[in-house]
Chains A and B, each alone.
Chain A
């Protein structure tokens, strides 16, 4: 499955568990803090993706990085997966 699709599916799953109401459309420019997912929800998204993809790019990074948009978020996972292979 394409990475972006996997992230979107994880996002939907986590939003349901965390009882968060997401904005109708999420595109690459959507600011994460305005997407409807709260900070605990993001922690859950990272946890869900760690189970699905086997990586946690934020722990692997030497410095703290906080993606601003959904596009930034996908890009971080894409880079981490590229480094893994």
Chain B
């Protein structure tokens, strides 16, 4: 298989799991992250291409996309996974944090989609998967801005799916539930235990569970799936 997939936020957690599964499935993977981790270095030995990029620098995104296309060719898919989730009540959240979060979680995926969609249009084929969160629909105390960004991403995905469907491009979201990753470190202990207890499957979804959903959306079998959100939460929101 010679399909190129670009994954953002690839250095750890879900992004890393997506890269691992993509490589195993034979995709050509370009991993974007601010810094290169040991895990990414190991994946490079398996053929992964790493490109250092700070996606919060929005002005640089057009040039970044152009450079990626020049270096690696037209992408088959883009996985918008990079995100931050500051935990804190809105009333005291600093405006710079609100701006930073919205830039990275919503503006960056929109701009990356804009520029990386173009070669997909020329190919009349492509996939965009945006990583949302169950919090976009359920809400969570202390994550209002994060929730807003994920809900925005879901709305964006639905409309974009309508816009580019006739060019053979699908746009979907994967909404993981609480996973044991660096991002949920602040939920350790009682909260995570309580989420596990309430889950129908009695466990948390793992990054590998969510990554498998991303791979499905990239597959030929998902050709008729667009404009939807695939929830992977071990049943927490059932």
Contact = CB atoms under 8 A, between A and B. Distances in A.
Given A17-B124, A40-B164, A46 B62 contact: no
Contacts of A51: 69, 119, 122
Interface residues of A, number: 13
A18 B164 CA distance: 11
A9 interface: no
B119 A47 contact: yes
B166 interface: yes
A15 B164 CA distance: 16
Interface in B89-134: 115, 117-119, 121-122, 124
23 contacts: A14-B122, A18-B167, A40-B121, A40-B163, A40-B164, A40-B166, A40-B167, A43-B117, A43-B118, A44-B121, A44-B167, A47-B118, A47-B122, A48-B122, A50-B66, A50-B118, A51-B69, A51-B119, A51-B122, A56-B62, A56-B66, A59-B62, A59-B115
Given A44-B167, A50-B66, A51-B69, 14 more contacts: A17-B124, A40-B164, A40-B167, A43-B117, A43-B118, A44-B118, A44-B121, A46-B118, A47-B119, A47-B121, A47-B122, A50-B118, A51-B122, A56-B62
